Chains A and B, each alone.
Chain A
Amino acid sequence: AQTVTQSQPEMSVQEAETVTLSCTYDTSENNYYLFWYKQPPSRQMILVIRQEAYKQQNATENRFSVNFQKAAKSFSLKISDSQLGDTAMYFCAFMKHVSGANSKLTFGKGITLSVRP
């Protein structure tokens, strides 16, 4: 079974600054995906960024980038130039790759990020 750990329950950052959210996971799988989801107060889960485990290059999406350390089983999210709209709960998630089929997501507990004006 897979586990995902987000040890920081809350973080705060000044607008325009950079913040890093931590995530570690445990799995015996070799082929999998890692995700960061954002959940604003509207409850809508929004995919922020995805990382395939077989790729060494860290994923980047505009202001969002990850630091994927496969050997250490670490997957942190860096948000650059923080904006007020980034205020939300952020979840780290794991999905096992299953050839030709779908697979469930395993989530961490989440972290509440507040961006201060």
Chain B
Amino acid sequence: GAGVSQSPSNKVTEKGKDVELRCDPISGHTALYWYRQSLGQGLEFLIYFQGNSAPDKSGLPSDRFSAERTGGSVSTLTIQRTQQEDSAVYLCASSLRQGVYYEQYFGPGTRLTVT
């Protein structure tokens, strides 16, 4: 079946502009995660959605970052007033319970370059 998809694949933006990154999880997956992969920080957790529960936003680096998940499916990560340090690959993952374990399936990521 279809995996996690992300769009765009690559995004170049000017410093100060806002960007939106999209994630389409695997159909039926109740949990959705955003991670950021950067040269300096490695792979770090940003935010996590689980069903109708309040999202875990503990990994968002600043208030310029926000995310929403509409209808329990598609998610959008928004970065306002982008800075050069926001340049990174943004990975989305979704998961479905399998017994007591939840495997996360990753999308191909969006490479964001802020010039």
A35 to B: closest C-beta gap in Å: 9
Q: Is the interface of B mostly helix, strand, loop or mixed?
A: strand
B101 to A: closest C-beta gap in Å: 7
Q: With A and B bound together, what is the CA distance between A110 and B95 in angstroms? A: 22
- A42 in contact (CB, < 8 A): yes
- A11 in contact (CB, < 8 A): no
| Interface pair A43/B108, CB less than 8 Å apart | yes
Q: Is the interface of A mostly helix, strand, loop or mixed?
A: loop
Which size class do B's interface residues fall under?
A: 20 to 34
- B104 in contact (CB, < 8 A): yes
| Interface pair A110/B43, CB less than 8 Å apart | yes
Query: Which of A21-29, A60-68, A76-84, A99-107 lies at the binding interface?
Result: A99-107
- Give the A interface residue count (CB, 8 A): 22
Query: Which of B14-22, B44-52, B62-70, B72-80 lies at the binding interface?
Result: B44-52
| Interface pair A102/B42, CB less than 8 Å apart | no
The 4 closest A-B pairs by CB, nearest first: A45-B106, A107-B43, A102-B31, A109-B42
Known: A47-B103, A102-B97. 13 other contacts (CB 8 A): A43-B91, A43-B108, A43-B109, A43-B111, A44-B106, A44-B107, A45-B106, A46-B106, A99-B100, A104-B45, A105-B33, A105-B35, A108-B42
